[in-house]
Amino acid sequence: MKHPRGVRTRLLVVVVVAVIVALTLSLAGFGLLLRHSLSTDATELAKSRAAAGVSSLTVVNGRVEAPEAPDEGGLASPVWVYAGGRAIERPRVSLGLQAAARQAASTPGQTLDVPSQNARLYATAIVSAGHRLGTVVASVSLTPYQRTERLALEASIVLAVVLLVVVVVVARWTLGAALHPVARMTSDAESWSEHDLDRRFAAGEPYDELSQLAATLDRLLDRLSASLRREQRFSAEMSHELRTPLAKLRAEAELALRRERQPEEYRQALTTIVTNTQQMTGAIETLVAAAQQESGLARGRCDAGDVLDEVADTCSALAERRGLQIEAETPSPPLALGVEAEIAVRVLQPLVENACAFARRRVHIHVERGAGAVLIAVDDDGAGVSADEIETIFAPGVRGSAAEAGAPAGAGLGLALARRLARAAGGDVSVRPGDGGHFVARLPAG
């Protein structure tokens, strides 16, 4: 299978074909115009000779008389004068032309071409006192006109060939100069996409096709770089989130196999294994949901009250173990969130679980409408977050001072994943320092 020609070759072929067609049509049009013009000139010359012949004749007593000698105003040759059905003046020409002249004399005002003699005849009536007395026939040779036409066409063809060569050379050079930057940018983009995704063309504000192409390639490289970073972050976070549950699973399994244990101890080990597998499943699902949101998948719509009820039910077991009360205000009138219910739950659940882990007596959830968004505040009466921790607590693997002081660790998916998922959905998660925890999840309004 043959490979298709390059763009430059195809464009050059198109240009050459277009120029050839244009030159052919131009030559054809020029030939027709030139032939018409020369034919008109030959006819006008024949008419003028015939008119001159008529003016040189005299009419005496109703009879046409031709001049007796050229130096006395004789007729220009070759001109025929017919009167009374006979030629009273004729040039010395071939018999074929003589016969054509007699034929032309019968139709005054018309031209007659004689191809065998390469001549054109024109007849003019001789009129006196309103009566036709005879006919003057003038002849013009077409040879000079045909020679002029042939020379003009030959010169035009030579000029067209020269013009075609010039066009091919100029078009080839122009196309090469115009497409060379495109080939270079394509090669650079391919190389950068494999080895250095941080390189960019940086051609500035697009002002022509090449700068627009450079901007498009820059955006493409940005998307590739962002996709690669998301993939790397997804792998790192997956490794981080699964490392601890897997270690716990392995430890519990090894302890269970090391020696015989009581049924209650086996139950406790299996409970721990189930808890850690649930944590692993939740982490995986949250990471996948965040990746889908960052990939720009279609976003849904859900009711904020339904989301709060689901989160409160999910976290109720943890709250009961710590003797806490979860207070969730049902928004009135109902508020809609511009995300899938599953996404909203996975954003809020870590915040509520974190509050249950550090609260002393109660956890309060409040919902209100903001500017183009819905704000969901999760408050607890625990130790709170210090001012220097409002960003670090959202980093993967980082725990606040309250956890280091001995407070129980959260049982959810982590604040880092909650913020990442919220930002992927077009929102955010923030915390206010001070006594008691105060986390706010901002999600798009539906």
pLDDT digits (tens, 9 = 90+) for 201-244: 777 777 777 777 777 777 777 777 777 776 666 666 666 666 76
Residue 236 lies in a domain: yes
pLDDT digits (tens, 9 = 90+) for 389-430: 888 888 765 665 555 444 444 433 578 888 888 888 888 999
Closest to 334 measured CA to CA, from 311, 308, 304, 310: 304
Tokens read off for 187: 């090669």
Same domain, 135 and 18: yes
pLDDT of residue 283: 66
Domain end call among 113, 147, 181: 147
pLDDT digits (tens, 9 = 90+) for 98-124: 999 999 888 888 999 999 889 999 999
Amino acid 369 reads R
Residue 161 lies in a domain: no
Same domain, 313 and 329: yes
Same domain, 125 and 139: yes
pLDDT digits (tens, 9 = 90+) for 157-207: 999 999 999 999 998 898 888 777 777 777 777 777 666 767 777 777 777
Same domain, 111 and 30: yes
Residue 120 lies in a domain: yes
Is pLDDT at 76 greater than 80 in this prediction?
A: no
Question: Which residue did the predictor score with more confidence, 259 or 110?
Answer: 110
- Residue 289: pLDDT band (50, 70, 90) is low
Same domain, 343 and 420: yes
Which string of b and e fits 260-295 if b means at least 16 CB within 10 Å? eeeeeeeeebeebbeebeebbebbeebbebbbbbbe
pLDDT of residue 442: 92
Domain end call among 297, 315, 337: 297
- The answer to whether residues 322 and 359 touch, using CB atoms and an 8 Å cutoff, is yes
pLDDT of residue 23: 93
**CA–CA distance, 230 with 236 (Å, rounded to integer):** 10
Closest to 348 measured CA to CA, from 385, 302, 392: 302
Domain end call among 147, 180, 208: 147
Question: Which residue did the predictor score with more confidence, 282 or 350?
Answer: 350
CATH of the domain at 293: 1.10.287.130
pLDDT of residue 72: 41
What radius of gyration do the chain's Cα atoms show? Answer: 51
Same domain, 280 and 309: no
pLDDT of residue 27: 92
Q: How many domains would you assign to the chain?
A: 3
pLDDT digits (tens, 9 = 90+) for 6-59: 777 888 889 999 999 999 999 999 999 999 999 999 999 999 998 888 888 888
**CA–CA distance, 163 with 170 (Å, rounded to integer):** 10
What is the value of pTM for the model shown? Answer: 0.48
Same domain, 309 and 280: no
Same domain, 366 and 390: yes
Closest to 357 measured CA to CA, from 380, 335, 390: 380
Residue 184 lies in a domain: no
Is pLDDT at 264 greater than 60 in this prediction?
A: yes
Residue 158 lies in a domain: no
Closest to 53 measured CA to CA, from 158, 144, 149, 123: 123
Residue 99's domain spans which residues? 7-147
Residue 113 lies in a domain: yes
Neighbours of 27 (CB within 10 A): 15
pLDDT of residue 61: 76
The overall average pLDDT reported for the chain is 81
Same domain, 306 and 281: no
Helices (H) and strands (E) in the chain, counts: 9, 14
CATH of the domain at 439: 3.30.565.10
Residue 185 lies in a domain: no
pLDDT of residue 41: 94
Same domain, 392 and 313: yes
**CA–CA distance, 78 with 303 (Å, rounded to integer):** 110
Same domain, 286 and 316: no
**CA–CA distance, 49 with 57 (Å, rounded to integer):** 13
Largest CA distance in the chain: 161
- Residue 74: pLDDT band (50, 70, 90) is very low
Closest to 311 measured CA to CA, from 273, 350, 277, 360: 350
Same domain, 32 and 139: yes
Residue 190 lies in a domain: no
